[in-house]
Structures are given as structure tokens and as C-alpha cells.
Amino acid sequence: MTQLSEGKRQERRLGWLLCAPAAFVMVAVTAYPILYSVWLSLQRFDLKFPDEREFVGLDNYVTVLTNEYWWNAFGVTMLITVVTVAVELVLGMGLALIMHRTLVGRGLVRTAALIPYGIVTVVAAFSWRYAWTPDTGYLANLITPDGAPLTERAGSLAIIILAEIWKTTPFMALLLMAGLALVPEELLRAASMDGASAWQRFTKVMLPVMKPAILVALLFRTLDAVRVFDNIFVLTAGSNETSSVSMIAFNNLLRGLNLGIGSTMSVLIFLTVAIIAFVFVKLFGTAAPGASDDGRR
């Protein structure tokens, strides 16, 4: 008995030992700063006036939450999130089907699709920016002759959304393709024998089996979309009221050097993401990722 539990204890010790460095780094670089950030958000702390640092309670939250720039950025972020995720779900599903089932050039399609996934967002953003720049770009006159879509709000938002969709649809598609691979070919054959049309096979057979994969993809992409920053920075730098929450938090810090307000925004963004994640997990229960912890063997 003692000998046996010794082996078990060794296994535990090895497990902890192997996980410790990764766990330590992850916690040290996220948990501590986020707590520190909560602490900072309760203070007046402007690096331009370091001497005026003082504890102000929830004043910063009041300042941010009554500020129209914050709410505008919040609205922009939500708009971008909802539109990109919805469009990507449809396009991603299509792309996943093509990558999974195409009879010709499967390798070519998959390789091509991986390029947007792998490319540096800033590079892609510059490409889109120049594409829509008057004179320089091949797309500039596409919608309106001698228009400059990046100088007005609707055009800018549309281009930001386009750039986001281009960049992240392949990732969505790959996650969905993982779900597609789980659909047994025999099930589809059985459905066609039973007289199901292609559309019925898709909605009645494939979608139910893919549901967990779809939820994982939606969750990851939604939380990723809320973080939108790179594309906005390059495409508009937040002009014409196109800032996302990440964008104004960043500006507050590096342009405004206001750590107190910046931290308040950090905490609010963190809470937003936490609420979204919580709602997802609540709505979909055990289908959430990480629930399948089947352990060894």
C-alpha cells in the first residue's frame, strides 16, 4: 500500500513540477498585473503629474463610464465584433466545406487559406489602407469615383470590418473544419439514402454534430474580435470616431500617459470579456472548451 501510494505521489509531484514553470509565467504575467491594474484604477495617476497621485475610489470609473468617447468606442467594438463574427461564421463554414470536401486542389486551397491566418496583421492592414487610398489604390474608386472611404466614418468602419474578416476567416474555418472532420461519412451516406437533400444533410446531420466545434469557434473569435486593435491603428488611427476600446485604452496610456484612467479602461475591458465568456459558457454549458478533460491514455 505504502509502496503504491508512493508511485502515485511521485506522479503527482512530477505533474506539478512539469506544470509549475508554465503556470508561474502565465499567472505572474497576467494575474498580478490585472490585480495591480485594479489597484491603479482606484487612483488618480497621471505620469505627466506624478506628484498628484492619490487614492480616488471609483472616481475613474465614473469618469470613464460617463464619457461619450468610451461609449462610442464600446459601440464601435461591439459593432465590429457582431458583424465580423456573424459574417465569418457563414464565410468560415463555406471555406471549411471547401477545404474539407473539394475534389481538386485541396492542398492549394488550404495553403492559400493559411496565408491570411499567418500574415502579420499590420502588413495586411497596410495593404488594405493603400488599396483604398485615392490614386494609389486599386479599390479606391470602386464604390464612389474619387471617393476616399477612409476619411469618413461608415467607409472606415466597413474597411476595418473587411480587413478583420479577411484576416480571421481562415482561423474560423480551420476550427470549423475540425468539427467537420468529426462528421462520419457513413452518416451522410445514410442521410442521402434516407432521401435528405444536400441542404438537409447540412442542417440536420452536419450542424448538430458540429455544434461543439461551432461554439468553440464562436467563443474564440468573439473574444478575439473584442480585442481589435492592429487594423484600426493602421487604417484610421481612431480618427472619425472609429476607435475601439483597445484603441482608446492604448491612447490614454501612451498618448495621455494617464495610468489611472488607462487602468480603469483595462479593468472594464477585462470585465466585458469575462461577461461574454461567462454568458457563452452558461448558455452552452459543457460544450465549452476544456470540458473534455479525458486525461491519459
Partner 1 sequence: MTAVTHDRTTTGVSKETRAKITWSLLDIVVVVFALVPVLWIASLSFKTPATLSDGNFIPREWTLENYRVIFSTDQFVRALINSIGIALIATAVAVVLGTMAAYAVARLDFPGKGLLVGVSLLIAMFPQVSLVSPLFDIERRLGLFDTWPGLILPYITFALPLAIYTLSAFFKQIPWDLEKAAKMDGATQAQAFRRVIAPLAAPGVFTTAILVFIFCWNDFLFAMSLTSTEQSRTVPVALSFFTGESQFEDPTGAISAAAVVITIPIILFVLFFQRRIVSGLTNGAVKG
Partner 2 sequence: MADIVLDEISKRYPDGTTAVDSISLEIADGEFVILVGPSGCGKSTTLNMIAGLEDISSGNLLIGGDRVNDKAPRDRDIAMVFQSYALYPNMTVRENMGFPLQLAKLDKAVIREKVEEAAKVLELTAYLDRKPANLSGGQRQRVAMGRAIVRSPKAFLMDEPLSNLDAKLRVQMRTQVSRLQKQLATTTVYVTHDQTEAMTLGDRVVVMRAGRIQQVGHPQELYDRPANLFTAGFIGSPAMNFLPAVASSGDVLETPLGKITIPPRVRGALTSSELILGIRPEHFEDATLVDAAQRARGHEFTAPVDLVESIGSDKYAYFTLEGESATSAELEELAADAGGADLPSGASNLVTRFAAESGVRAGETRDVWLNTEKVHLFDASTGKNLTL
Instruction: Give residues 227-286 in contact with partner 1 (rule: CB under 8 A).
Output: 227, 229-230, 233-234, 245-246, 249-250, 253-254, 259, 262-263, 265-267, 269-270, 272-273, 277
Instruction: Considering the complex, state which of residue 9 and residue 101 has its C-beta at the smaller distance from partner 2.
Output: 9
Measured from the CB of residue 286, what is the shortest distance to partner 2 in angstroms? 24
Let me know: does 92 contact 173? Beta carbons within 8 Å.
yes
Site string for partner 2, 7-36 (x = CB under 8 A): xx----------------------------
Please write down the HEC assignment for all residues of 177-230.
HHHHCCCCHHHHHHHHHCCCCHHHHHHHHHHHHHHHHHHHHHHHHHHHHHCCCH
Q: How far apart are CA 181 and CA 188, in angstroms?
A: 12
Residue 7 binding result from partner 1, partner 2, none, given CB thresholds of 5 to 8 Å by partner type:
partner 2
The C-alpha atoms of residue 84 and residue 274 are separated, in whole angstroms, by 20
Q: Does 27 bind partner 1 (CB under 8 A)?
A: yes
Report the alpha-carbon distance of residue 15 to residue 181 in Å, rounded. Answer: 32
In 3D space, the residue among 159, 176, 254, 248 whose CA is nearest the CA of residue 216 turns out to be 176
Owner of C-alpha cell 459543457: 286
**Of the candidate residues 102, 144, 192, 197, the single one contacting partner 1 (CB under 8 A):** 102
> What is the dihedral sign for C-alpha 43, 44, 50, 53?
negative
Q: Which listed range, 19-27, 66-74, 79-87, 144-152, lies at the site for partner 1 (CB under 8 A)?
A: 19-27
All cell numbers assigned to 54: 492619490
Q: Does 295 bind partner 2 (CB under 8 A)?
A: no
Compute the radius of gyration of the chain from its Cα atoms.
24
**Among residues 85 and 269, whose Cβ is nearest to partner 1?**
269
* Of 1 and 104, CB closest to partner 2: 1
The contact pattern for partner 1, residues 54-83, with x = CB under 8 A and - = no contact, is ------------------------------
| Cell reading at 27 | 499567472
Binder among 7, 145, 208, 295 for partner 1 (CB under 8 A): 295
The residues in 111-170 that bind partner 1, with binding defined as CB under 8 A, are 111-124, 126-128, 130-131, 135-138, 140-141, 166, 170
What distance in Å separates the CA atoms of residue 253 and residue 265, rounded to the nearest whole number? 10
- In the complex, which residues of this chain contact partner 2 (CB under 8 A)? 1, 3-5, 7-8
